[in-house]
Amino acid sequence: MNKLKVIDIGHSNLSIDNAILNLETKISQLNFEGDYKVVKVIFGHGSGALKHTIKNWCKEQEGRFKAIIYGEDYNLFNKVAVDMRSDCKLRDDHDFGRKNSGVLYIWFW
pLDDT in tens, 5-25: 999 999 999 999 999 999 999
pLDDT at position 98, please?
97
pLDDT at position 39, please?
97
pLDDT at position 1, please?
63
Write down all domains in the chain, each with its CATH number in brackets.
Answer: 2-107 (3.30.1370.110)
Instruction: Calculate mean pLDDT across residues 28-55.
Output: 95
**Over 80: is that where the pLDDT of 3 sits?**
yes
Three-state secondary structure string covering the chain: CEEEEEEECCCCCCCHHHHHHHHHHHHHHHHHHCCEEEEEEECCCCCCHHHHHHHHHHHHCCCCCCEEEEHHHCCCCCHHHHHHHHHHCCCCCCCCCCCCCCEEEEECC
| pTM, two decimal places | 0.94
